[in-house]
Chains A and B, each alone.
Chain A
Amino acid sequence: MPIPKLEITNPEALELIAKIKSGEIIAPLKAWVIKHKWYLISGAGVFILMIALLIGKALSEKSSSPVFTPPDIESVYPTTSTTIKSDFQGLKEEIQNLNTDLPDPFIPSFDNAIDLEPQRYD
């Protein structure tokens, strides 16, 4: 089916098309961009950097972080030394604990001269 050819007759549309064709309509925008081109370049740079960081972060979160383990070496066990104790240690302690001081037990003092004679209190 053939496409019907459109014919623009609206004078405002015709005027706008003429402006577009001549480049008159984008002239102020072009002038503004040229004026602020370094700001735009810097903003674009920062924007690209932010995007790169976000992408990098998203990718790093997807993959699990590697675990660094030390190289495998032989396991070290503490050396256990079995202390052999003699059966006669108890006897030795008994000898050591003997009190060599005399008199043991202490001999109490007694009054052998119990009477009612006065001379003992003169």
Chain B
Amino acid sequence: MSGDKPVRIGAVAYDPKVVTIWEGFKEYFAKKGVAIDYVLYSTYDAQVDANLSGEVDVAWNSPLAWVKSQILSHGGCRAIAMRDTDRGLTTKIIVSSRSRMGDVPDLRGGRVAVGASDSPQATLIPLEMVADSGVKPGKDCEVLYHNVMVGKHGDHVGGERDAAKALAAGRVDAACVLDANYNVFINEGTLDPGTTRVLATTEPFDHCNFTAPADAPAERVQPFLDTLLAMSFEDPAVRPFMEMEGLRKWLPGRTSGYRQLERAVQRFRFYDGAALGAGS
């Protein structure tokens, strides 16, 4: 029914726990009668290529990998599923609580810490907001990148944490952190409570999704999708893996939350030139 071969899911190995998570999910799918296999890539670029060439049927993509897939396929991909925690994220530009800055244009002449150069949430989207306010990143304000695991699109929170530490140490005037990570950094002591405040918050945006090329065979993708959406947090066999993956519920994919990132990629020419290769 779903073909002889298991449905191949691509995922990026940003942390050793990725293996544990996908082994767990693979067993869950097998119990439900849908054979899947996971293929790990060290970068999203490799995964995007593999997805579009058919090496994997579905790619568990970062938002930036989604945007690249759409560019390379000329809009020929579908976002079939995402986590409940992938919807409606915001990034906060945070400053010292003693800072006299009142709004984003006040960053002119200042120094802003961001995450890895390819992090949507910690770099591209907040810098898009900064540029939109009339302050050109790199020209009107200094940008300090924290390039941890470039290629993995900021999945590893390390770059963001370093940006927050830079703010706490007084080496920068502002730092860009995902709203969820702002809470984490305060709770874990990277940022002492009361020492920072939020200068500005981006509009909500969406995060990861399962990407499938539009021409991927439905008889392979649909059983995977149906079984994925039926995964329950109440099921003790699969709950530990859902907790590790950071979700309570899988939801159908949507594309309405990627506009800020698309604008950022265009404005900063992120995928212009050699990155896309000929024929883009």
Chain A complexes with chain B: no
Interface residues of A (CB under 8 A from B): none
